[in-house]
Amino acid sequence: MNLFCVGLSHHTANVETRERFAGHAQSECILRDAGCTEVLLLATCNRVEVYGASEKRVSTEEVAHCLARKIEKDAHQYALPFYRYEGEKCIQHLFRVASGLDSMVVGESEILGQAKKAYESARQSGAVGPYMHRLFQRAFRVAKQVRTHTEITRGSVSVGSVAVDLAQRIFGQLDNCKVLVLGAGETSERTARALASRGVRDLRVSNRSNDRARELAERVGGQAVPFEKWPQQCRGVDILIASTSSEVPLLTPANLAPMLSDRADRPLFVIDIAVPRDVDPTVNEMEGVYLYDIDALRSVADQSLAMRRQQIASAEAIIAEHVADLLEKISGELNRASRMSGHPPVADSSLRV
Amino acid sequence: MDRNFLIVSTICFVAAVVHSGIELRAGLFRPMRFNFAAIGLGFVFQTAFLSIRGHALGRCPLTNLFEVFIFLAWSIALIYMVVGPAYRLSLMGAFTAPLVVLLQGFALIAPIDVHHPVKLPSNSWLEFHASVSLVAYGAFALACIAGVMYLVQERQLKTHQLHSIFYHLPPLADLFAVITRLLWWGFALYTIGLVSGFFVGRPLPYIQVVCAVGVWVLYALILQGRHLQHLAPKHVAALSIIGFSAALTLLWGITFTAQTTSLP
């Protein structure tokens, strides 16, 4: 039995190429016709991969043809970015993919859900059998173990999610937090939406243009506040998102101090995503105020990413253990199949076209 | 014989410290099960020691500085086991265990396990006063630990330098709530201990009373400042550390003067 993976990903192909090979449900049927006894198609925005088990060797070109939405005259065009893993390397690759090690953002967990969905879809269509079942069930187990035993998913890696993460580190539950959004820009909307998705119910939006403030308030389920009244609103809020186009800082220690006078035991989290900045950086030195501007948020995101990368070795060790264990269990069958087909074993994970 | 239990107990706490250190260093900190088990086991051996010692003395084992330190370490472990899981403060064990190791290690190494030449008479008010006060010290110790955790977390948030530990520490709001509750519990127990001290049936050294009342006033001021929102959370956290340091110094002083005069 040949166990193989043929695919392309953000590592090997640009988005245009990936779109051409995005795959569709029928691909699995076509691949079965091509000689695969079991086949599973994993298609996400960052990768299109076919995992298959076959008695005879199915070439990369055959897989590519099945994946292409329309057969182009020059097959070389789409044959180039494909990689191929077989046997042990195929198992290792799937485990790395499921664990988020092969993702564009290391440690992202969305891929696990996508892999589960792909497996479920293939299972329902009857495209997967005992090999794929064993392989993918083990991959899900490995991914879970990697997430539990390493810090690979720790921290947020985008500006919006870092802001929300920090808010939770300050306030815990966000249900009772009051948020004021100054400025109706795209980034502030994204951040406000992210906060609302984590439980924030009291959202207020203030903008020089009252109409835009109302529009944004409607979109995020908040209420609009006249721009002249934002300093009064500031007294009651826990989180302030500033993203106006003001040329001078709106918030300085001098005008913030009176607002803080009656809230000694409540912290204030200020997210300044405006350029030029809306908040004087010395505000961060004030008691109970935590100011993060766009650079600070990016820096935290970078730190998280660096921390995740440090965990890759630990994750690889877990994966290696499972690869060896799974291989031991199915190696007899794979070796028999390899001997019968007469194909040389794949020695490394380098790309094969 | 009873000291063997204490040595085993200390080894359990050392294991918790070492485990925490290794995990933190590797950035893989999931201390809940191991730390809680190690501290729990250490607590069992502490209890065994205090029980054996109590039976041998025929009274609450608080007759010298050694026993006082062990009782205090026991109180800290007890409060941790109540508070830690309740508030999901898994990392608190990593801060609690070193404090217990320090107290027990010092008690085991220093020549402070001095036995009284004559059997001390039992005095239920005195024993109640001493034991309740020490459990209050345990609450103050945990408030101090939560205070350290708060300051570590606050510092990281202020400086924007978020280390691995940042993601394992509870939110600032939760830590502040824990500090406040522990301070209230400690204060209530300490007040009971202080008042019961006036019923021991003999005059207490003046300096001890003044210092004990001083600690009580310090904690009362912290709680009053917190209640009236005059103190920022960061200051409450810092004061809970200062308060426990003062209380610990006082405890030493009380036990030392008691030993040099006559009874504890």
Give the pLDDT of residue B137.
92
Selection from B36, B45, B17, B26 nearest residue B82 by Cα: B36
CA distances from A136 to A143, A315, B53 (A): 10, 17, 59
Cα(B189)–Cα(A269) distance, rounded to whole angstroms? 36
- Residues of A whose CB is below 8 A from B164: 151, 154, 307
Q: Do the bridges between strand A223-226 and strand A239-242 make them parallel or antiparallel, or are there none, so unpaired? A: unpaired
Give the DSSP letter of residue A251: B
Q: What is the pLDDT of residues B183-235, one digit of tens each?
A: 999 999 999 999 998 888 777 778 888 888 999 999 999 999 988 888 889 99
Among candidate residues A29, A45, A66, A234, the one labeled active-site is A45
Report the top-level CATH class of A159-304: alpha beta
Q: What is this structure's pTM? A: 0.76
- Is the CB of A287 less than 8 angstroms away from the CB of B232? yes
Low-confidence ranges of chain A (pLDDT < 70): 22-30, 69-80, 264, 332-353
Give the pLDDT of residue B162.
87
Give the pLDDT of residue A345.
47
CATH homologous superfamily, domain A2-154+311-341 = Glutamyl-tRNA reductase, N-terminal domain (3.30.460.30)
Give the pLDDT of residue B264.
42
Q: Are A130 and A86 in contact (CB under 8 A)?
A: no
In chain B, what are the domain boundaries?
2-261
- Closest chain A residue by Cα to residue B174: A172
- Is the CB of A300 less than 8 angstroms away from the CB of B160? yes
Cα(B180)–Cα(A56) distance, rounded to whole angstroms? 70
A45 annotated active-site: yes
Q: What is the pLDDT of residues A244-296, one digit of tens each?
A: 988 889 999 998 988 887 776 789 999 999 888 999 999 999 999 999 999 99
SS3 category, A240: strand
Selection from B2, B1, B130 nearest residue B59 by Cα: B130
Entry field: residues in chain A:
353
Cα(B71)–Cα(B49) distance, rounded to whole angstroms? 10
Contacts of A73 (CB under 8 A, 6+ apart): none
SS3 category, B221: helix
Q: Is B78 exposed, middle or buried (0-12, 13-18, 19+ CB in 10 A)?
A: middle
Give the pLDDT of residue A348.
37
Low-confidence ranges of chain B (pLDDT < 70): 1, 26-32, 85-90, 117-121, 258-264
CA B78 and chain centroid, separation = 9
- Closest chain A residue by Cα to residue B233: A265
Q: What is the pLDDT of residues A196-220, one digit of tens each?
A: 988 899 999 999 999 999 999 999 8
Which residues does residue A9 pair with via DSSP β-bridges, in sequence order?
A: A47
Give the pLDDT of residue A186.
83
Selection from A226, A211, A161, A221 nearest residue A187 by Cα: A161
Residues of chain A with CATH 3.40.50.720: 159-304
Residue type, B200: V
- Is the CB of A288 less than 8 angstroms away from the CB of B160? no
Residues of chain A with CATH 3.30.460.30: 2-154+311-341
Give the pLDDT of residue A339.
63
Give the pLDDT of residue A351.
28
Contacts of B66 (CB under 8 A, 6+ apart): B107, B110, B112, B113, B114
Give the pLDDT of residue A336.
63
